[in-house]
């Protein structure tokens, strides 16, 4: 590894996203080679530095012969730095060009495995640690960061306090069939499937809270919507019913989409996203009861039995009927989690709500009003075959000042996949974990 030439120290080191502030000035830029092209006496180097890409130009006769020679030895993904002057150039991707005066190789790169030819997804996933250097993956992961930032921004500005839930837990939240189990000294622990139960405790302490972190499910499904490690934001609100829960979701999601359109338009364009589809995402979102959704499916010729949960194809059909996400509420208790409040007067359905994204992306959030009655909750825990002892702390929330409360969980990768318009959630997280992949 070679150090920056000491003669360069009088010039500012500039990251490419800020290069526009240095027009006609001499600066140092540092990055990696995307590709090189030469046309006779001119050498064009595409340098990326993580924030943007710039074209660097060396002209024979103008740049020193030594510099020209060194530049020619650069290979894809070699790291290097340039001393040069910045010019405006409308033809370049970032709007600027740099004229090379001196060039210094930091470290070489031999046989970089990703080449301009088409690669299969399996191969690209094997080299995911390198694939994230590409333009398309940059776009997706920048949009992901913007989505996560905007979610926190909206919640922080609307009276929510971030109170995170633990990852190592003694009991299940979303059924026992997808638990990852681990030894915990002399007992067993599970990786959390959802921070919700702790979120409810936090809501009884602070009123409106959210937790935001990775969650884990040993899903034996190889679909384009399932990961075994995925990120979830889970708001939980005291003194809020199911309608209030839906209002918060539509406000938050509209804010997120508006922010992505405002701050990440170039990235959406890189992905070829149809912008008009995102511009339509404004609150309020349509609401459809489970009963009506079943009728709708039947009207489309699907032989659907009342009481069953919707599968991905059903969600796709329902979601395609709208140009905004659609809430489906009041599912049968039998296909939902133990803690959801049955509808008074119609106990076979519960105050649950799923939000289905348009364009066939399916469920992106799941939520409900929670059972607030001690006796009923205790009964539901028993009926679901869960160990009562492990839930005594959770029952305390109904022993000591129980209140009506609601919450939901939004899956980050499914939301990223929908907003980016990409096919599979595995590209919506930096290092995906699926049933068949824990590498790299
Ligand atoms: O519908 P789910 O299972 O709801 C809960 O976990 C509640 N405890 C949340 C709450 O009320 N606080 O999961 C919520 C969301 C889903 O809508 C989906 O977006 C995402 O989490 N999700 C997954 N994403 C990727 N891979 C998986 N295996 C997922 N399972 C759920
Ligand atoms: Mg769900």
- Using the mean position of ligand 2's atoms as its centre, give its distance from the Cα of residue 357 in Å: 13
113 in a domain, yes or no?
Answer: no
215 in a domain, yes or no?
Answer: yes
Name residues contacting ligand 1 (CB within 6 A). Answer: 173-174, 194, 196, 217, 219, 226-227, 230, 232, 234, 363-367, 407-409, 411, 413-414, 425
The pLDDT of residue 92 is 78
Q: Name the domain boundary from 75, 107, 139.
A: 107
112 in a domain, yes or no?
Answer: no
Residue whose CA lies nearest to ligand 1 atom number 17: 365
DSSP state of 391: G
Residues 179, 53 share a domain: no
Residues 139, 101 share a domain: no
* Residue found by looking up tokens 């060396």 in the block: 58
DSSP state of 171: S
Ligand nearest to the CA of 173: 1
Which residue range(s) make up the domain with 36? 6-107
Residues 146, 32 share a domain: no
DSSP state of 320: T
The pLDDT of residue 254 is 98
Ligand nearest to the CA of 227: 1
Residues 248, 215 share a domain: yes
- Using the mean position of ligand 1's atoms as its centre, give its distance from the Cα of residue 214 in Å: 11
164 in a domain, yes or no?
Answer: yes
Residue whose CA lies nearest to ligand 1 atom number 18: 411
Closest CA to 325 of 423, 253, 224: 253
Residue whose CA lies nearest to ligand 1 atom number 29: 226
DSSP state of 175: -
- Residues (pLDDT < 50) of the chain are none
Residues 199, 295 share a domain: yes
Residue whose CA lies nearest to ligand 1 atom number 30: 226
- Using the mean position of ligand 2's atoms as its centre, give its distance from the Cα of residue 3 in Å: 53
Residues 169, 81 share a domain: no
* Residue found by looking up tokens 């409106």 in the block: 208
- Domains of the chain: total: 2
- Sign for the pseudo-dihedral over CA of 43, 46, 49, 51: positive
DSSP state of 186: T
Show the tokens assigned to 58: 């060396």
Q: Name the domain boundary from 61, 76, 107.
A: 107
269 in a domain, yes or no?
Answer: yes
pTM: 0.96
- Using the mean position of ligand 2's atoms as its centre, give its distance from the Cα of residue 363 in Å: 7
436 in a domain, yes or no?
Answer: no
Q: How many helices (H) and strands (E) does the chain have?
A: 13, 18
Residue whose CA lies nearest to ligand 1 atom number 11: 408
Task: Say how far apart CA 150 and CA 212 lie, in whole Å.
Answer: 13
Show the tokens assigned to 193: 């499937």
388 in a domain, yes or no?
Answer: yes
Q: 284: cis peptide before it, omega within 30°?
A: yes
The pLDDT of residue 395 is 98
Q: CATH number of the domain that 131 lies in? A: 3.30.930.10
Residues 210, 150 share a domain: yes
Q: Name the domain boundary from 53, 75, 107.
A: 107
Residues 277, 135 share a domain: yes
Residues 173, 68 share a domain: no
Residues 129, 77 share a domain: no
**Ligand 1 pocket test target in 414, 419, 428, 434 with most atoms within 8 Å of CB:** 414
The pLDDT of residue 93 is 75
Residues 221, 359 share a domain: yes
117 in a domain, yes or no?
Answer: no
- Using the mean position of ligand 1's atoms as its centre, give its distance from the Cα of residue 411 in Å: 6
Looking from the CA of residue 366, the nearest atom of ligand 1 is: 1
Q: CATH number of the domain that 43 lies in? A: 2.40.50.140
Residues 174, 79 share a domain: no
């Amino acid at each position: 590894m070679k150090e920056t030439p000491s003669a360069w120290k009088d010039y500012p080191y500039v990251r490419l996203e800020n290069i526009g502030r240095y027009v006609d000035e001499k600066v140092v830029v540092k990055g990696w080679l995307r590709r090189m092209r030469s046309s006779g006496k001119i050498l064009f180097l595409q340098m990326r530095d993580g924030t943007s890409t710039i074209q660097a130009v060396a002209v024979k006769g103008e740049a020193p012969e030594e510099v020209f020679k060194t530049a020619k030895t650069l290979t894809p993904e070699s790291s290097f730095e340039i001393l040069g002057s910045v010019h405006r150039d409308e033809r370049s991707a970032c709007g600027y060009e740099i004229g090379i005066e001196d060039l210094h190789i930091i470290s070489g790169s031999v046989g970089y495995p990703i080449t301009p030819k088409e690669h299969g997804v399996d191969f690209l996933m094997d080299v995911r640690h390198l694939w994230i250097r590409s333009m398309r993956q940059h776009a997706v992961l920048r949009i992901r960061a913007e989505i996560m930032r905007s979610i926190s921004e909206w919640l922080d500005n609307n009276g929510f306090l971030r109170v995170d839930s633990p990852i190592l837990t003694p009991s299940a939240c979303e059924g026992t069939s997808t638990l990852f189990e681990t030894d915990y000294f002399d007992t067993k622990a599970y990786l959390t499937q959802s921070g919700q139960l702790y979120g409810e405790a936090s809501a009884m302490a602070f009123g409106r809270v959210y937790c935001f972190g990775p969650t884990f499910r040993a899903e034996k499904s190889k679909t384009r919507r399932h990961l075994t490690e995925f990120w979830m934001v889970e708001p939980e609100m005291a003194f809020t019913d199911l309608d209030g829960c839906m209002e918060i979701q539509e406000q938050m999601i509209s804010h997120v989409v508006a922010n992505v359109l405002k701050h990440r338009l170039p990235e959406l364009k890189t992905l070829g996203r149809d912008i008009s589809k995102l511009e339509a995402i404004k609150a309020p979102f349509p609401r459809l009861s489970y009963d009506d959704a079943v009728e709708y499916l039947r009207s489309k010729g699907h032989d659907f039995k009342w009481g069953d949960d919707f599968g991905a194809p059903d969600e796709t059909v329902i979601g395609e009927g709208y140009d905004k996400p659609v809430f489906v509420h009041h599912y049968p208790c039998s296909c939902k989690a133990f803690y959801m409040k049955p509808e008074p007067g119609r106990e076979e359905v519960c105050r649950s709500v799923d939000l289905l994204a348009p364009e066939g992306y399916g469920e992106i959030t799941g939520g409900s009003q929670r059972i607030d009655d001690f006796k009923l909750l205790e009964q539901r825990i028993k009926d679901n075959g869960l160990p009562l002892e492990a839930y005594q702390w959770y029952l305390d929330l109904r022993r000591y000042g129980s209140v009506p409360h609601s919450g939901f969980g939004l899956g980050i990768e499914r939301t990223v996949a929908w907003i980016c318009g990409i096919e599979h959630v595995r590209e919506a997280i930096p290092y995906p974990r699926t049933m068949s992949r824990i590498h790299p």
